[in-house]
Structure 1
Amino acid sequence: MDNSAFLQIGIPEETRREIASLFLDLAHDSTQIAIDELKARDWLTKKELCNYLNVSQPTIDNFVRLGCPVSRIERVIRFNTKEVNQWLLKQK
């Protein structure tokens, strides 16, 4: 037996669009805050660099093969954002 309860409310289409827009704005703002926090950091993991540059991990791997600066200490890999930004500017 399903004990879940559902409440259905009739909302005018215009109000529904406004609510959806507010949720999208909130998601965008939250994402932008996270990106801004990453930009303020000097050293990033590969996953963080993917978010920072909005690219996939295979793209980062390709960048490294092309000469993107990376620091490795044993199995720890980090990217310096200033060095990566300078390298990207030289690729134009």
Structure 2
Amino acid sequence: MNNVSVIPLQVSEDFKNQYFNFFYEVAKEAFEAAKQESGIKRYMTKKEACSFIGISFNHFQKLEALGLPTIQIGGKILVDREDIIKFLNQQKSVLSNMK
């Protein structure tokens, strides 16, 4: 029932690269569209970042002290969603290595 035939296909490296880049761009656009639809902004206030992570403001300040990057523009402080994700993943690695 699950008979699968394999047909070898030879293509140039250039074709492989173009094929990969095409699908990479399609996936990237779909991912970006999904992020936009989710309502999560790339740059957030500290309060929005707390809500995004699901922590209190005091705990957020502790993360800042541990090195979570923030951006100050004039009198406003913003946090990049990508920095939050990267920082939390790094902390996960640190904790895993301590076990």
TM-score (norm 1): 0.56
Distance (whole Å) between structure 2 residues aligned to residue 74 and residue 63 of structure 1? 22
Identity %: 25
Output aligned runs, 1:3-82, within 5 Å.
Answer: 36-38=38-40, 41-82=41-82
Distance (whole Å) between structure 1 residues aligned to residue 74 and residue 66 of structure 2? 21
SS of residue matched to 1:55: coil
**Aligned-residue CA RMSD (Å):** 1.0
Deviation at 1:74, TM superposition (A): 3.0
- Unpaired stretches in structure 1, ≥5 consecutive residues: 1-35
| Deviation string, structure 1 residues 65-87 (Cα, Å, up to 9, x no partner) | 00001101232100000011001
SS of residue matched to 2:69: coil
| Deviation string, structure 1 residues 33-92 (Cα, Å, up to 9, x no partner) | xxx412xx1100011011111100001111000000110123210000001100110001
Where does structure 1 differ by over 2 angstroms across 4 or more consecutive aligned residues?
Answer: none
